[in-house]
Each structure stands twice: as structure tokens, then as C-alpha cells.
Structure 1
Amino acid sequence: MKTFLIKRNPDFTTHGVLVKRNVVNKEFSESRINGFPFSNKLNIGDKILVSETSYGIYAYGNVTKVDEIIEFKSVNEILNYTEKNKIKDVKYWYNLILRFKQKKENDNNPVLRFQKYFIEQKLLNRTIPFFEEIKSLKEIQNSIYEVKDLEILKSIDSFIKKPRSIKLEKFDSKIPNSLRMDLYSLFNQKYNISTWIDIDHFIPKSVGGPGNIAENLVPVGFSLNRYKSNAIPKGLFYHANKNKELKKYVKKEYLKENTPNYISNKDFKSSNEDARKIIDLVK
């Protein structure tokens, strides 16, 4: 059994986001013009490490099926295939067609080879960043790469069995990639990714809300993002009011029953300033 790293680029997806879920038969695909897809090397049972190009490994699994390679010799053949199979990944196939068309300008007989394969995908509880021991994997350009280095394989296996914790030295408004990816994995195991688009601060970054603790991060959808903006969660003032050092920054109107859950600076002129003072003291 061999071990392969596959790299996925969210830029090639329809919504710019990789769907991350535990899937019994997760479908992947490979394509190549005038050559054979790298997936042609795969065999049933091979171990797959699934990574996102920008950061690290977020899932693993074993190959359950490898389809036959399909060959396309014209744009019409590609279009017929996508129509017949009701392909939804429009952006990916559009890029394939563009590449094929450009190749055809210099080569009268280009061949696009396409192959699907499937794995039993299991999400990791903690994403494995391309850190020191495996940082060389970040430089790999191939979408599928056989990992042969035993030390790298040992490091990955060790991380899967015992994820490393990152020590928090101080609050920081920036969301670390490691934490962002971990939350993607967590939320994707429980929720449908189509309902949210990003990870964002609950207490806004603009008033000093920390980005490096999970407790202040939430999945954000388009509607919430528009509504929330830089508004302050009412709960911040509710809890601050219980502390004798912080309650002086909590105005009575912040806690009224008819006050919205997100307090806007437009409606409560000093709310952002008061929130910042509370956050500064907590830090």
C-alpha cells in the first residue's frame, strides 16, 4: 500500500470553498492534456492524505475505486460529456475547456484525459499544517504526489494520533490559518457548508476582538455578515456588567429588553468605544 498526498485548490471550485465532510465514497478527479492523469498510479487500498494548497492536510482515507480514463479529442466531446452527466462543477470544467482550447491552437491533435477516483474520506479533528517536519510538502506542485519519505510519514501519523496544541501567548485580532482550518473541519462535520461562507470574529476585530481563540469565532453567512458588520454582541455588555471593573462601561440602554442582539454604533454612539475599553481590560 502506498501513500499519496493530494492537493486541492479552492480557487477552482464554484464558490471558492472546499466542501469538507466525512464521506464513504468521496469523489475526486484528475485531468491532463497529452499525458496520463497522476491518479493513474492509484490502486484500491492506497492511503490518501487530502490537503488544501494554502495550508495543510485536513482529511485522509483509502482509495475505494478508480474509474477508467476517459479521453476527449474536441471541445464538443467535453461539452457533451458535461451535459450528459449533468456536471455541476462549472468552474472546474470551464478551466479545462480553456486549457484544452489553448493547447489546440498549437497542437492539432491534443488529447484531454480525465479520470475519477473515490476514497473513504475522514476529516481530521485538527488540520495538519505544513509545519517544520513536513514543510517540504508545501512546495509540491503536482496535484497527486506519492509520499515516500519515512520521516514525513511518521510525523503525519504521529500528528493524526496525537494532535499538537498551539500555546497561546497573547490575544491577537488576526485569525491564524491553523485555527481557521480546524474550525472549517469542525463545522463541516456538523453543518452544511452552503449555509455559511467564512469564519469571522464574534466580537468585531475593529474593537479588539481576538481572532486567535475559538470562543470568539463563528461561521458567517452572507445575511449575518451584512447584518452584524461591526456591531457589538449584546452579550459582551451583559457579562461585563457582572464585573465591578468593567460595569462602568456598560450603559443601561445596552441591556434593555428591546435592545437588539447586535448593538450598532449608529444607534448607540459610544457602544464601540465602550466595547474596546472592556476588551483592553480583559486582555
Structure 2
Amino acid sequence: MNSLFLFEAKRNIKHWLTYLIALILVFIGIFCGNQFNLSVGEGIYLNSPYTIGFMSGMLSLSIIFFAIVYALQLLFRDRDTKFDLVLFSFPISKSTYLKGKFLIYFLQTFLSFGFLMIGFLTGQMLRTGSEMQNEFNIGYYLYPLFIFGFINSLLICSFLFLISLSLRKKLIVVIGGLFLYVFYMIVLLFSNSPFMAGSIPQSLEAQQISAWLDPFGLSSYFLEARTFTVHQKNIQLVSFTGYLLLNRLSFLTISIGFLFLSLRLFSFSKISKHKTKKRSETLIRPIRH
């Protein structure tokens, strides 16, 4: 097991703030599960597999916020404490260092979404009414947790991980996260999403393009379910085939590409030389003046 990952994990487990954040996320999830009334179609239950998948996909947008906050806190910690200046002198390889950093970063982000989904599940179980007709099925929640929660967490974390290591600017990391959100909203306009109920109906070609380009996978989810009847949406999971499968595999591959690029671009020596040179120039300038 990666020693850096274990060190960071033990530190988080011992910190009281970790448990407070988890509790807050569960309560937010309970509120969402118990109070949301967004209709995805007449006759479709709020606890149907289709609605749960849709809501899980929308909640996965929060991963952007989690990933940005954790990136600023975790990925820039060595830089903020000047520890990155002496990293090259430690008996740790570049691969081990990056794996440990990314694993703890990804795990924090994914678990945060997981706690949000636990709250969402709990909130739905506490809810009653004619719109809640299906019996409880844990598979309805685990399925979107994987196709939206896991893959989206991997995509966002790998993208921000690459930006933080290559550009080393906190503001660029924030802008990168906002770019993903804005890009997603633009793509969603062409997917006939129930969330964009006021948008103009799109052609099948536009929906197919959206299904390919959507980094969060909801457009492909809607496209695969476009032929479902109300009854099917109430009892049947949207199958992991067709455009949904291609979209998720595509962005999974892109995520791996981001990680590979991070490994190629990162160097202990470059950080040390850059900071040493910058510090030397700062000291020399007053003397020249």
C-alpha cells in the first residue's frame, strides 16, 4: 500500500472536521431526497430507477465543488508549506508520490459524493405519498453511483490534478472546474433534459452529439431512455449499453490519459529549480537597483 496515501488517510481519519463534513453532506442529501419535486414525466414515480438515475446525475455536479475545494487544500499543501522544495531529497519516487496524492484526492471526492447519496437514499425512504410507489431496491442507487459518481469523480479529479501539477495556480484550478460546469450546461441544452424543460426540442442528431460530448453522462442517459414507456421508467434501469456505455468508456479513457500526462509532466527537480531561480532573482534585484 502507498505510504503517502496511508499517511494522508490516517491524518484525515483522526481529524474531527472530516466527520463534520460527512455529517453535513448526509443531511444535505436527506433534504434533497425528502424534498425534491422535479418531475421527469407524468406518471413516473420519484423513487423509480429512472428518476433516481436522473437525480444522481444532477447531484454529481456537486463533485466539481468537492474536487475544487480538496484540490486547493490537498494538492497545494506542499507548495503552501514550501515542502515541495525538498521533495527531491526524500527516498520517494515520482510515481509513488503522484499515486499517493491522487488516490487520497480521488477518494475524498468520491466519498463526499457517496455520503451525499447515502443522505439522498435516506431522505427518499423517509418520504411518503402517491408519488413514491416502488419498493426499496439498493441497486437503483448503486448503479448511478458508479456510472455518474465514480466515473465523474475520476474525470474531474484527473483533470484538476493535471492542471494543479502543470500550471500550479489555484485560480486556474477554480477556472478549470467552472469550465467543466459551463461546458456541461451548454451540452445539456441539446439533450432534451427534463432539467431544461423550457429549452427548444432538439433533433436526434443534436441529442447524439450531446451524448458523445457530455462529460457527466446525463445526455447519453436520456438518449438511451428516450424509447422507454412510463412503466419501463418506473421499474427498469437504463441499460449500460449504446451511447451511455460509449460515453462512459470514452471519458474513463480520457481520465486515464490525464493521469498519464500528469505523470509525464511532473518533476521534482523542475519545481526545485524554478523556485530556487525565482528566489535568487528576488534577492538580486534590490542589489542591482
Query: Normalized against structure 1, the TM-score is what?
Result: 0.24
Question: Relative to total residues, which structure has the larger helix share, 1 or 2?
Answer: 2
Question: Relative to total residues, which structure has the larger strand share, 1 or 2?
Answer: 1
Answer 1 or 2: higher relative contact order, Cα 8 Å, separation at least 6.
2
The structure number with the bigger radius of gyration is 1
Query: Normalized against structure 2, the TM-score is what?
Result: 0.23
